[in-house]
Every structure is written in structure tokens, then in C-alpha cells.
Structure 1
């Protein structure tokens, strides 16, 4: 799976989301989309009283924000907006309640039952026949989920592991269904993106051990903004899967031999997100839409479906996630990015659908610092630069390093509402990019480039007019020394 197999959105590359990971990535993607359309964006301090959205007692820092067009205002927690009710969030957390509502609306679901004791779990598994799946009724992120359990001895070993590792009391035992598993994100009666989540795996090269191949795979995952902090971790399930396949950590798989390290496909457990929207049938997409319709007041969410390998028009719904991660739809490991964040903003602010969108982005992590330190209760992002932008580039040669020239240029740029950067090219040369909506001010910035700081000596300036493209640019003015 090589980088060239990925096609990202033109205005949303890896630089835009640099160092933003986890649930904050979901928050930033939705907030950025709204901000780029000219909506007013505010971020709020952790555990603010303004947050009425169910957060499952998790920190709201960098994940709770509002967007407003001046006439209406909506609050968001991660990818979920305030049109998704807390009642539905609670239903989705309880897999048994969710399944009951699916069943009432004839949404296809796996055969299963909620049980507490090991004895009842084992007896029911024997009754419905192996292979089976076991998962906690209130778990998330794949915690405590084991799939494709093939016999009673395996189930007993897994139950011992679950009881020692987790404090869940109730577990759902379901019939295991073969087929690819997909996370389908639905917004307002439409399947916007679908991801085939492949369980954690490695491919042998005939040279490296399993342990080394896992390390190599994890290094590759670090290059993907969504997967950067979701490595494959060697645990009971991984060693169990290896043993079942006749391997150990120090084994050397044959070249091109694929080894699966988990049964469950959760991306947080090392799974691979493969974009698959176009390969799904309309019937399966409709099943995902119908699943949300079966639940009260949930216009957008992620739906997990296993597609029948014998008939791609059929599938069973595993669950719905009301606060689903969306980062992998925009940063897949393979495939073309799907603009889930854009679809969410379309739903909440339909009047912005045809509006011009800025390609600028803001420094999210720096903006959050005062909130993190409890210095303020809320922060409003600067207005999106929506006007036509003019651009100049300068290559300046002379005594310009360690003489305050770079800080001088930044200071004057900020005073004149100029965006861009000054970048060190060598010990006697810098590059300056100046962007602004006022052509006269941009053209006039030359005098500051030429004047410089008191200790600087300008020997030569190469000036170039640029056509400002929709390439993503950060607001503010940066000093780049490396």
C-alpha cells in the first residue's frame, strides 16, 4: 500500500493537519470546513457549562466548538453536531438497545444475545454454532471485542482474558458473519463515505521477523495523520493469532505472505482504512441510511456493516456510532478522500453550499494554548480571508541571518495584514512569501524587505509576482528556520 495510491482533497493535505491527531483531528476537520466558508468559529475551555452535548465524561479541550452564520449557531463535539440528540447517543452506546430498534425497523442484524455469566455465554455460543463474536454491551473503540471465535476452547481462553483485563459485566454473543466490514458515514439520507476496515496485518519480505515487520508497518502508519497514533500493539490477541497461524514474533514469513494479527478490524487496534465508497452496492448504502432512520434524531453518524460475500446487495448492521471518527475518510491509507466534513457542514449550514471557500487554514494547536492554560473561557478564530489574494515572492541575499531580519519582516507583515512566511535558505539567503487582499499593500511590502533590520545588510533582492492558487496556506506569518 504505497503513498501514490492515496488521493487527498486539494485543500486538505498533511501539512494542514500536521501534529493534530486523535479526536482533535475530527474536531478540527469539521471546524476548519465551516471556518473556510466564512462562518464564525469559537473554541471553548475544557468542561465549559455551554456544552450540553453528551461527552461521555471525556475532556472537551479542543473538541468542543461552535459555528455561526450570524443568524443561527450550532455547537459541535468532535464530529457530532447538536442535531444529534443526547438520547440517541445513549442508545448507540448500548448495543443491545440499538439492536432492538434496528430489529423493530427490519434493519438486518446478526443473530445474538446479551449474557453475563461465562456459563451462559459458552452455552449460547454452542447453541448458535461457531464461529461467534463476543463484545461488551457498552464498549467502544474495539475494546473487549473478539471475532471469528472458532470453538469452545478458544472462547474459554478469551473469556479469561476479558475478565482479567476489563470490568464489563454484560457481553453480546453473536453469530460471526464472513465478509468485508465497512464503516459507512451517513449524512441526511446519503452515504457520503465508506471505508473497508481491514484487520491489522503485515506482509512478509522473506528477510524480516514478524516483530520487525510490525515495527516497519507502524513507521508507515506514522506518516498518515489519522493513523499516526494508532500503532499495532503486540498483546494477547496478536500472539494468539500468530500461534493459530503457526508463527511467533521471531518467525520470518515468506515474501508476499500476508499475516493477519487481529480478527477485529478496528483502526485503533492497528487496522487499515481502505476507501471503498464506489465498490458498495446501492442496496448496502441504503441499509446504512435505514439504520439511522431506525434511531431517533440522528441525522449523521457512522454505521458498521458486514457485506455478504455471496451477494453484495445484502449485509448485516453491527452498530451505529453517533460520535464517529471521520479522519480516515479524509486520510485513507489507500483510495480517494471523501469529504465527510463538508457534508456535515452542508447539513447544518446549507446556505453555504454554493459559497466560495477559502484555502487558508489556521494554527489550531497554538490557538488552543490559552484555553489549555485556563487563561480564557473562549477563543474566536480570526475571520477567514475570503477576498482575492495577491502574492509576491522575494529571494533576499545578504547579511540576513541572526541579525533580527527575520523577526523584523514578520513584525511588519503582521502590522500590514500580510500572510506568508520568511524561510532560511542558507546562511546568507532567505525566501519571503507575502500574501494579502490589498494589492497596493502587498506591492508596497518591498520597502520593508529592502530596508531590513538595523544590523542586516541587503545585497540583492529577486522579486517575483505570483498567482495565488488554492494551495493551502496558513494564516499569520511564520518564521521557518529549518
Structure 2
């Protein structure tokens, strides 16, 4: 799915496409004696050091902070006592693996010690390096930067279900997941796990409660497409200040194609914190914005239309 729009754009320009490994989404583009190996939107143009920094969320955080970009307070997990102390000091925390993608092992807005312990256990299933981050309220904004220039932006919202007066919360999630499986070819699914149960419980609900007709309930805290979240194009609403911050971040990280994750109170404002940098962003999520065009422009500037 993510590679296809890039392959289609390349073919439309007369660029030869060689499928290297279909299962891994590896393909090579050939044009005018030049070739570039790609994995979806990740290419040979992204150096190993940029990959290393983006793969380690604590290293990303420190790098951006040292460059004067705004990031939330963060610390590595050492023990429960220290983690609980930080939670009390910051009011609410996010627990996440230092490495990983697609929202795996992340628990958001933790205020109680029992939930903190559960979140750490969940994160440890994905990585031995766990991060505590101060929870920041805001709208979740993914900004795409290609060749260090702002290209597109989407707002990401957490998964929700809507009641019909007959089905339980669990049944509504199952029905939503069936719909998502068909619509996204299996890319998106609301997890049915302890974290989802926690979010539901915080709204004084359980798996077996029946929602009133039209009642909307948020069932995830992470605004991730892969965990059932929704995306809305907001490219035209993003201020020049936020665009410039994303472009600066791409240069600081020395990564030419990147998805920068921001939390902001207002897309038109200049307040923000940067949460993460995704070295292999799904450019298809930003249609109808010209992400595929800009991607191929970057790789093969001679083919610009």
C-alpha cells in the first residue's frame, strides 16, 4: 500500500521499477544510469546515522532538544520508585519503548501507580529500554518533510466507536475492526488488550456495557493509524512557524524524508512539542497532497514535471 503510490509515480515518469523483495516492500528505481534502492519511503539517501538517531526515541529527543527545538520532559526508566516519583512530579506520563513504531507498547496519560506498573510491563515486551515522558495535551500532528521542505500534514485522532443501543463495547470494537480490515487491507486494527480496557474503564465503562444510540466513546489514547485512529488532511492549516520547526528538525537529524510527530494546541499557532521522528513515513496517508511527486522529484530531479 505505502510503496505502491511511489512506484506508480515513478512508472508514470518513465522510471524503471525492479521489485527486489515484495514481502519486505523493497524495490529499486532505475533512470538515466542512476539507481536507488527503496523500502516504501525509506531510501539509500537516508544515512545510517540518521536511522540510528530516529530509531532511538531518547536519542532523537536529546538531539532535537540540544538544537533548541521544543520537546516534552523525558527520562529513561530505571526503577518503579523513580518512575512513580516522576509521574507525581509531572502529573501524568507516557510510557513507551525507546525503539519501535506503529504505537506498539505505548501507554498514554498515566496517573496511577498500578497503571504505571502495567504500562511498564507492556513496554518491556517490546524493548528493554523504556522511556517516561511528560504527558502533553494537544492535537496530534504528523508533518511530512521531503528534501528538508514541508510538504504535507495530517491530524491523527485516536480510535472511537459509536453506540447503536444494542451492541456491547466489545462487539462494537469487533465490528469496527472488521470494517477497518476491509478498508485498510489489514493495516489498521483497534487492539483488544489491557490498555484498551484501561481507556474504557476510565470512562466508567466495561467490555460488556451497551452504548446508547449515537454515543461516541474513545477506545485508544494513541492517535495512531495502525491502532484504528483516523487521519484528516490539515496541510493548508499549518502555520509557517510549525513548518519551519519541522524543516529545522529534519536538518538537525540529517534525514531527507521524515514524518515529524508534533503535539500542538492550534495548527495555526507557534506552540508545539515534537514527540518523535519517523524515518519511514506512510506517504499514502497524505493523499491528495503531492507526497509521491515530491518523493520522486527528490530522488530523480531530472524527471520533474
Distance 2:267 2:12 in 1: 44
8 A Cα contact 1:237 1:261, kept in partner: no
Q: Report the Cα offset of residue 62 of structure 1.
A: 5.1
Residue from 107, 113, 122 that aligns with 1:152: 113
**CA gap 1:323/1:311 in 2 versus in 1, 3 angstroms:** closer
Specify the structure having the higher radius of gyration (Cα). 1
Residue 408 of structure 1 corresponds to none
Tell me which residue corresponds to 1:313: 270
- Assess, with a 3 A threshold, how the Cα gap between structure 1 residues 160 and 343 changes in structure 2: closer, same or farther: same
- How far 1:161 moved relative to its partner? 4.0
C-alpha distance in structure 2 between counterparts of 1:77 and 1:167, whole Å? 23
Quote the Cα distance in structure 1 between the aligned partners of 2:86 and 2:208.
Answer: 37
Matched, 1:36 2:12: yes
**Pairwise mapping of residues 77-226 of structure 1 onto structure 2 (< 5 A)?**
77-127=39-89, 129-163=90-124, 166=125, 168-225=127-184
Q: How far apart, CA to CA, are the structure 2 residues paired with 1:124 and 1:277?
A: 36
1:160-212 superposed Cα distances (whole Å, 9 cap, x missing partner): 4444xx05222111111111111111112322221211111112233332223
TM-score with structure 1 length normalisation? 0.60
Contact 2:190 2:227 in 1 (8 A): yes
Cα distance in 1 for partners of 2:121, 2:24 equals 38
What pairs with 1:331-346 in structure 2 (closer than 5 Å)? Answer: 337-346=288-297
> How far, CA to CA, are the matches of 2:43 and 2:122 in structure 1?
37
Q: How does 1:405-424 map to 2 (within 5 A)?
A: none
Q: What does 1:189-268 align with in structure 2 at a 5 Å threshold?
A: 189-225=148-184, 228-268=186-226
Relative distance call for 1:223 and 1:285 in structure 2 (3 A) is farther
- Provide the C-alpha distance between the structure 2 equivalents of 1:62 and 1:100, rounded to a whole number of angstroms: 31
Cross-structure match for 1:67? 29
| Conserved 8 A contact 1:27-1:62 | no
Map of 1:302 onto structure 2: 259
Alpha-carbon separation, structure 1, partners of 2:295 and 2:191: 33
Equivalent residues in 2 for 1:459-478, closer than 5 Å: none
| Structure 1: runs of 5 or more not aligned | 1-24, 47-59, 331-336, 355-482
Q: CA RMSD in A?
A: 2.0
User: SS at the partner of 1:345?
Assistant: helix
The CA distance in 2 between the partners of 1:340 and 1:315, in whole Å, is: 23
What is the alpha-carbon distance in structure 1 between the residues aligned to residue 113 and residue 174 of structure 2? 33
Aligned partner of 1:269 in structure 2 is: 227
What is the CA-CA distance between 1:318 and the residue it aligns to? 0.6
Matches within 5 A, 1:288-437: 288-296=246-254, 298-309=255-266, 312-330=269-287, 337-354=288-305
1:15-44 Cα shifts (integer Å, max 9, x gaps): xxxxxxxxxx22222122111110111122
Deviation of 1:146 after TM superposition, in Å, equals 0.9
SS in 1 for 2:36: strand
Structure 1 residues 86-145: Cα deviation after superposition (integer angstroms, max 9, x where no partner) = 221111001111111101211111111112322322222223x21111111122221111
Aligned to 1:238, the other structure's residue is in SS state: helix
Is the Cα–Cα contact under 8 Å of residues 123 and 130 in structure 2 kept in the other structure?
no
Q: Give 3-state SS (helix, strand or coil) of 1:224's partner.
A: helix
Q: Aligned residue pairs: how many?
A: 305
> Higher helix proportion, which one?
2
Cα distance in 1 for partners of 2:197, 2:280 equals 31
TM-score by length of 2: 0.92
Conservation of the 8 A alpha-carbon contact between 1:42 and 1:67: yes
